[in-house]
Structures are given as structure tokens and as C-alpha cells.
Structure 1
Amino acid sequence: MFLYNLVIYLYGIVIKFAAINKLKARQWVKGRENWRERLTKKIGELNSQDVLWVHCSSYGEFEQGRPLIEAIKKKYPKYKIVLTFFSPSGYEAFKEWNGAEVICYLPLDTKRNAEDFIHITQPKVSIFIKYEFWLNFLFELKKQKIPTYLISAVFKPHHPFFKWYGGIFRRSLATFDKLFIQDDASGKLLDKINITNYEVCGDTRFDRVLEVKENFVEMPFIKEFCGDKKILVAGSTWQGDEELLIEAFKLLNLPDLKLIIVPHNVEEKDIAKLTALIAKNEIEFVLFSQQKQNKNANVLVIDTIGLLSKIYKYASVAYIGGGLNEGIHNCLEPAVYYKPVIFYGNDYHKYNEATDLLALKAAKNISTGNELAAEVLAFLNNKTALLEIEKELQSYFQKKSGTTKKVIAILELS
């Protein structure tokens, strides 16, 4: 634990320096100031002995855990939900969500912070979503004999649990009363390290994207922008993705094709870089925030958060960003609308859904702007393939849905 705690301590120092000129780092630090006092006040206002703590790293993990939180609230209304986030991307987007009684940042994972947080909240049950292994918190939960669950986890051979140096992380797996995992492959890996406290249930994200689809509400400004054109929706893009997209869009030069870009980061400086790139290539664009149409504009930039999962409804083809950076983002959001998907790179094996979509011929991976243009054109011009993709994806989502019901049936709540 010494090395782990040292890394955590150094991380806390580094992020404070980063906060000088990085907005997200500044939000991360400020959001944790005086957390004990603020949390004590919020918990006191609950006037309840039945607290259930759910922790999500960021935006995507919250969307993954949301169906379960809502199902728990419906089946076990006595529980008061304390929802924590590690990242500002999640907290800032959902801090006003009415599905939890308390929403706050997770304190830095030190031994004292873990002890104090659990002492203040006194959770009857704790739930972690997908990839969260904060060792001091997990060991303190185990020490306090608080039932703890990991939801929609997936394990891969490159994870530290399966390396020679991963002893402390293997120990953390034993702190969970149950690991709800996505697939049999994860189970086989866990078997090899003598971890048997798991249940194969699938991925709750399927339930979430289906729910979003079922509750879709028309977006007038975007519908008007699209008109009768074919639409390439690029979601969760980073700078490298955007350079590829503009290159491909210019190569395609199709009068009946428009591009909607939904950046991962929507800070003013990031939007300024993107719009400068578009203008440099002599392409007319409009910003969603300005709500002003331009009949000559072929590019729409979404400079706000929270709309992407709905915007994919308007896509003819979807591009998923992140492949040039931290990893491709959620492929299921466009796929639930039966849209073909394109993403960058060969790192897709880390993501079950990306591998699945490639196998179904509903996705393509590319590495250049030329390849991106070619794959977009291939999808747009092959109506037979698009009909087959629709058929395959419909069957795929039918098979993969229902994880939330499986998990809540097994969870030992009272």
C-alpha cells in the first residue's frame, strides 16, 4: 500500500498545480474543498438511517449505472442515494440530477479520507460502477463490513489484477461481496486468480441506451439543420479526430452530406480551436449555442454537453471519437438507432461492444482521413448493407438488454 498511497499523494499535488490553468483540474480541486463540512450538512438533512452509496468515475459510468439506480429507487424507496463522481465531466453534468439525494465529488483516496467519508455517510450498501478500484475506500468498506458491489465490470488480460505486480489489486477484488461482470471471458480471467465472487450479467449500458431511444424527443434546431441531407455525426471528438473528420469531409465533397461535430471537451478554448480548423478549410459552420441557421453551412458544432445520445438519431453514419486519445467512446449510443459506426485505430479489442459491432459488419475501424472518407461513402452508397446492419443490430440489442433486471434480482438489499 505504500507505493499506492504515494502515487495518490503525488496525484493530489500535481492536480493542484494543474488547476492554475486547467479548468477541469480547477473544478476537481474546488469541488473537494471543505468536503467534510459540506457532506456532514447534506447527510444530516437526510434524516435517514438507510443510505446507499453509488460511485461513478465520470459521465459514461453514470449513464451505465443510471438504470440500476433508478431501479433501486423504485424497488427500495427507503434508500437515500449518495452519488459520487471522481471526474468533473460527470459531476458538472449531473450535479442537479433529481435521482439522488446527495451528489458530490469522491474525496482523494487516502486512508483518512476513506475513514471520514464512510463515517459521515454511514452507507448500508455501496455500489461501484465498472472500473473503480479505490483501494483505501474498498478496504475501509470491508473493515466496516458494509456490503459492496461492482456493476457491469469487464476484465482484460492487460489489467493489473493479472500482472505479477498486481497483488494489492487482486486483494481489492475480494472486498466486493459480488462482482457483476459483463462476459464469460472476464469470468475465466478471474478464475485464474481464484476470484469466484462474480456473476455474469451483461452490461447495463444496453438498458440505458434503449431507454434514451424510447424517450427520444425531436430537436427542432438540429432537425432543421439536417433537412433532407445525409448526416455524418461525430461524437465525443478530440482534436486529432476533428482533423481527420475535416480532411475526410473535404475529400468527400458531397453536396448532400452534412457534418455534426459533438466535441468531448466544450471549453471555450477547445471550441475556438475547432472552429478555427473549420474556417481554415473554408467550410461554413454554425454553433448550436447561437441557435441561428445558415443555409450555406454544412457543419454544425455542438458546443454544449448532454445532447449526444439523442443527436445520433439524426445520423446516417456515426464516427466515434477518442481512438487517438484515451480510447474510443460509447459505440452503443449510435448503434441503438441501427446506425453504422466508424472509429479510429486498432485498440478496439479493449471494448466488447466495438469488437461485437465489427463482427456484425456494423462498424469499421480506420487510420487515415482517406480511409474515413472511403468508409463513409461505402456505407452511404450500400442500401442493402444498411438494411442488413439494421437487422443485425435489432437482434443484438434484444439479446443484450435486461441486465438491470438480472442485477437487481441478485442484489441482497432489504
Structure 2
Amino acid sequence: MLLLYNLGVRFYFILIIIASFFNKKAKLWANGRKNTNYRQFSKSAWFHFASLGEYEQGLPVLIAYRERYPHTKIIITFFSPSGFEIRKNTSYADAVYYLPLDTASNARKFIDAIDPAIAVFTKYEYWYHFFSELHDREIPLYIISGIFRSDQVFFKWYGGLHRKMLGFVTRFFVQDDNSKHLLQSIGISYVSVSGDTRFDRVWANAQNPKSFPAISEFIQGKKTFIGGSTWPEDEPLLAKLAVDHPDWKFIFAPHEIKEEKIHRLIELLPPNSSIRYSQLTASEVGSHHSPQTLIIDNIGMLSSLYQYGQIAYIGGGFGVGIHNTLEAAAFGLPVIFGPNYDKFKEAKDLIALQIGFSISYVSELKKTFDFLTEDELRYQSIRKKIGEYIKEHTGATEMIMGYLTSD
């Protein structure tokens, strides 16, 4: 099985190299791993994140660790360019790298260089050679905010190698009881149900969000619908909703801000009804005839943008899965999203509590919007329940740090 794993890793690398000739993200992935000279460290703390979402998820633990051990050097690695390119200059780390390809020689070389005293991986990503090398050197390895499903390879008859990877982990901090029971079913008992560190992250952000005066001026006191991390599959539905409700302001923060994506979104909206954030001027936002729709054409605003809204739509649910619903929920906003949410525990929680809503068609979106706006008492009750849900699920960081600092 290890032979097949090694062949699979190399085959994946070859596919990325081929794709890099015509795909920007693949090119960044490949070039970022070329001729990297790793700085030498001693007894560092290594935090790995698959991408930007996992970085935001694990950031509360990273910050807490930095505060607890201010003299320890922190190394961050990313698998994806969407994490590395945005956070490569973060002040929370002493060095940020792409995770090298998972081979035995790469694992030895990288771990020799950074010399970690501890390794922390967030949510998922299990790499045989890195995990094995850490285990052989008796370096503690922790998985935080982990979540497991019965359909994953670890729990299949052919998942022996992947179960062996799990055996290299010192302790799992998982999001729910189901994950703990699944791990116990394959003989892994070093598991703590800590919850999801994202709750700590979004709660802290909601208490002290960034302020955007231009957004306040654009809204002009009107109720505002925010589409966060929207994809092309989401946007036609939201555009129709905007047409039906000219008394509301709409803010779109697309997942991708390429020019062709922005232009496509603008074309879905009525002529002269939208403006890009980069084009806002004092005269336009203060005008009685200011546009109905604002399109955010930069990265980094969304987590604080929800403070200006009453309802949020979270994109990605018509693709591989929804983006972060908790950022909006932390501000008390009811959240709507597409049908592909089964892999996201928080989305299922929100639906079960009737404070989150999944839609598949524009008619369902309109019906949900009406449900949330026709009864003010009902709307305020939903907002209260959302706030209680977020607050009740904070505390994962404190629990995890209790283990990390005691071992």
C-alpha cells in the first residue's frame, strides 16, 4: 500500500506540473516548491494548514501559543496557494513555506531544518512520510478541529495505510462525539472532543470587527443582504432577489475577484445598479441615487463585512461545499446556502435549530427571504438563537492549549 501511496503522490505532482502551463493556481503550487532554502531553527513550533480556511480555523490556537511561548519560533506551512499567497507575510510566524511534496527524503530534509518540538495540523491533511518522521523522532503531533465521517478511507477495509497514519498522531481534538466514536471504532483512544476553534475565531472577530466607513455610507441606513464567498452558480439567484427587492441594499463578496468574474456578476444586475468597492467615492455613496448593489473586489474584508448586514447568503453550496457560515452567524445573521452542505457540521446544526436555511432554487431563496423579513419578532428570535449557538460553542482553544502546554 505504501508503494501505491508513493506512486500516487508522484503522479499528483506530475499532473500539477502539466496543469501549471495553463492554470495560475497550479503554477503557484509548483513554483512555490522549487529550490526552497529552509532556514535553520531549533525547537520550533510547526503549524500546518491546508489552505486559507484552515488557517483562519486554527489561528486562535496559533495566537494563543505565540502568546504563551513568545520566544518559540513558529513555522507555518500551507498546501494550497490560496493560503500561502495571502498569508505568507503573516506576523504570527517566523517563516512561512509551502508544504513540500510528501516523500521520505523531503520529510527528513524539512524536519531537519525546522527542528520542531511540536507539530499542529488543523482539521485534516494526513501525510504519511511527514507523520512517520515526526513519530520516529518522538515529536508530538496534534490534530485540532478534526472531524471524521464514516465514508472516509480510514474506516474502509482498504484503509490500512491511512489508519496507520492516524496512529502516528499524539492526540486528536475533534469537533463532535461522532468523530470520537469513529476513531474509537478503529482502536484510537487518544481523542478529546474540544469542538471547533472557528467558533473562538469568529466570536473574537465579531466583538471587534474592522470598520469600513464607506460601507456605512453606501448602505445609508437601509437593510442589507450580504452574499459572502459567492460563486457563479450562486449569483444568478441572488441577482434575481436583488431585482425583486429594490428597497434593500445588496453586497456581493465573490470568492474569486478576477476581472472576468466581476464583469459576469455586473452583467447579471440591472444597468447602472451596481458599483465596485474600489470605485466608491464620497459623492457616490452620499448620493440619493447611489447604486443598490456593491461588489467587493478585494480580499480580506468579508469576515468584518457581515456587521453591516441583516441576512447573509454563503456561497459554494452549488459546488463542492459551502464556505464559512460561522463568520456571518457570529454577527447574529441568519444564513442561507446551497444544497451541498452535508460535510459541514455547523451548517447541519444551524438547519436543525431552524436558524440556517438551505435552498436549491430561486423560488426557495425568495420564500426563505420572505420568511425572514415578514415577521420582525420571528427575525429577532432567530438572531438571538444564532448568538446563543455561537457563544455556547466557544472554548475549544482553551481546552486544546491546556493539553499543548502540559505535555
TM-score (ref. length: structure 1): 0.93
Q: Which residue number corresponds to residue 269 of structure 1? A: 260
Q: Does 1:172 align with 2:165?
A: yes
Q: Does 1:392 align with 2:377?
A: no
* Paired residue secondary structure (2:203): helix
- 1:390, distance to aligned residue in structure 2 (A): 2.2
Corresponding letter in the other structure for 2:100: P
Q: Determine which of 195, 200, 209 is the counterpart of 1:207.
A: 200
Conservation of the 8 A alpha-carbon contact between 2:154 and 2:162:
yes
- 1:14, distance to aligned residue in structure 2 (A): 1.4
Q: Determine which of 371, 376, 392 is the counterpart of 1:378.
A: 371
* Paired residue secondary structure (1:350): coil
What percent identity do the matched residue pairs reach?
40
Q: Which residue number corresponds to residue 22 of structure 2? A: 21
* Paired residue secondary structure (1:26): helix
Q: Which residue number corresponds to residue 316 of structure 1? A: 310
Conservation of the 8 A alpha-carbon contact between 1:271 and 1:303:
yes
Conservation of the 8 A alpha-carbon contact between 2:141 and 2:171:
yes
Q: Determine which of 352, 355, 358 is the counterpart of 1:365.
A: 358
Question: Aligned-pair RMSD on alpha carbons?
Answer: 1.6
Conservation of the 8 A alpha-carbon contact between 1:283 and 1:298:
no
Conservation of the 8 A alpha-carbon contact between 2:372 and 2:378:
yes
- Give the Cα separation in 1 of the matches to 2:130 and 2:383: 44
Q: Which residue number corresponds to residue 301 of structure 2? A: 307
5+ residue gaps in structure 1?
Answer: none
Corresponding letter in the other structure for 2:53: G
Q: Does 1:291 align with 2:280?
A: yes
Q: Determine which of 382, 391, 394 is the counterpart of 1:401.
A: 394
Corresponding letter in the other structure for 1:24: K
- Give the Cα separation in 1 of the matches to 2:265 and 2:7: 38
Q: Determine which of 45, 49, 53 is the counterpart of 1:56.
A: 49
- 1:394, distance to aligned residue in structure 2 (A): 2.3
Q: Determine which of 246, 250, 274 is the counterpart of 1:255.
A: 246
Corresponding letter in the other structure for 2:380: L
* Paired residue secondary structure (1:239): coil
5+ residue gaps in structure 2?
Answer: none
Conservation of the 8 A alpha-carbon contact between 1:50 and 1:78:
no
Conservation of the 8 A alpha-carbon contact between 1:180 and 1:407:
yes
Corresponding letter in the other structure for 2:298: T
Q: Does 1:6 align with 2:44?
A: no
Q: Does 1:101 align with 2:94?
A: yes
- Give the Cα separation in 2 of the matches to 1:311 and 1:137: 38
Conservation of the 8 A alpha-carbon contact between 2:143 and 2:171:
yes
Q: Which residue number corresponds to residue 146 of structure 1? A: 139
* Paired residue secondary structure (2:256): coil
- 1:222, distance to aligned residue in structure 2 (A): 1.2
Conservation of the 8 A alpha-carbon contact between 1:181 and 1:202:
yes
* Paired residue secondary structure (2:342): helix
Q: Determine which of 144, 151, 155 is the counterpart of 2:148.
A: 155
- 1:282, distance to aligned residue in structure 2 (A): 3.5
- 1:296, distance to aligned residue in structure 2 (A): 4.0
Count of residue pairs the alignment pairs up:
401
Q: Determine which of 341, 359, 365 is the counterpart of 1:348.
A: 341
Change (3 A) 1:340 1:283: farther
Change (3 A) 1:273 1:30: farther
- Give the Cα separation in 1 of the matches to 2:301 and 2:204: 15
